[in-house]
């Protein structure tokens, strides 16, 4: 249960959001990534993709699989993912290291294909977001 203040002080003495102190992976994520602006287009595409895969699951589940996702989706390089076809989708569906949901996989591939249009129109993905 979250403290009434929403702040938890971890064993290292660092105050964090209550959820950010529940697991070592969450601690690292909270302390180095959460709430910090991201302006790098590839990292933004990764975050968008991982958020989509999280739907119906916990963020911790996705964090635990993040390196597997990065390998499976070519480090979330949008141009590479945009070239994924039926064989890649089948490969991803067989990959136990990621969330194997066909709709989420197809959405990520489609988003990669739409990414180029947004960069053309807005100059960068970060400018669009």
**Active-site entry in 19, 59, 77, 128:** 59
- What is the predicted pLDDT for the residue at 21? 84
At residue 20 the predicted structure's pLDDT band, cuts being 50, 70 and 90, is confident
**Active-site entry in 19, 29, 34, 128:** 29
- What is the predicted pLDDT for the residue at 10? 81
Question: Quick check: is 19 catalytic?
Answer: no
What's the pTM value of the predicted model, to 2 decimals?
0.89
Question: What is the 3 state secondary structure string of the chain?
Answer: CCCCCCEEECCCCCEEEHHHHCCHHHHHHHHHCCCCCCCCHHHHHHHHHHHHHHCCCCHHHHHHHHHHHHHHCHHHCHHHHHCCCHHHHHHHHCCCCCCCCHHHHHHHHHHHHHHHHHHHHHCCHHHHC
- For the residues 39-60, what does the mean pLDDT come to? 96
pLDDT digits (tens, 9 = 90+) for 70-98: 999 999 999 999 999 999 999 999 999 99
CA-to-CA separations, 21 to 59, 61, 91, in angstroms, rounded: 14, 16, 35
Give the domain ranges of the chain. Answer: 6-36, 41-128
CATH number attached to the domain at 41-128: 1.10.340.30
Alpha carbon 23 to chain centroid, angstroms: 18
CB-facing half-sphere around the CA of 108: CA atoms within 13 A: 36
- Report yes or no: 48 and 111 within 8 Å, Cβ to Cβ: yes
- What is the predicted pLDDT for the residue at 6? 87
Return the higher-pLDDT residue of 22 and 56. Answer: 56
Give dist(CA 70, CA 20) in Å, integer.
23
Question: Quick check: is 29 catalytic?
Answer: yes
Question: Quick check: is 115 catalytic?
Answer: no
């Amino acid at each position: 249960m979250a403290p009434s203040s929403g702040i938890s002080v971890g064993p290292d003495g660092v105050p964090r959001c209550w959820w950010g102190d529940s697991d070592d992976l969450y601690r690292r994520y909270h302390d180095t990534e959460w709430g910090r602006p991201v302006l790098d287009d590839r990292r933004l595409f990764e975050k968008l993709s991982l958020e989509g895969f999280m739907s119906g699951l916990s963020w911790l589940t996705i964090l635990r699989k993040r390196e597997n996702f990065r390998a499976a989706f070519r480090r979330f390089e949008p141009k590479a993912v945009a070239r994924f076809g039926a064989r890649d989708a089948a490969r991803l569906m067989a990959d136990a290291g990621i969330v194997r949901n066909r709709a989420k996989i197809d959405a990520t591939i489609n988003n990669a294909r739409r990414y180029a249009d947004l960069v053309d129109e807005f100059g960068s993905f970060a400018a669009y977001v």
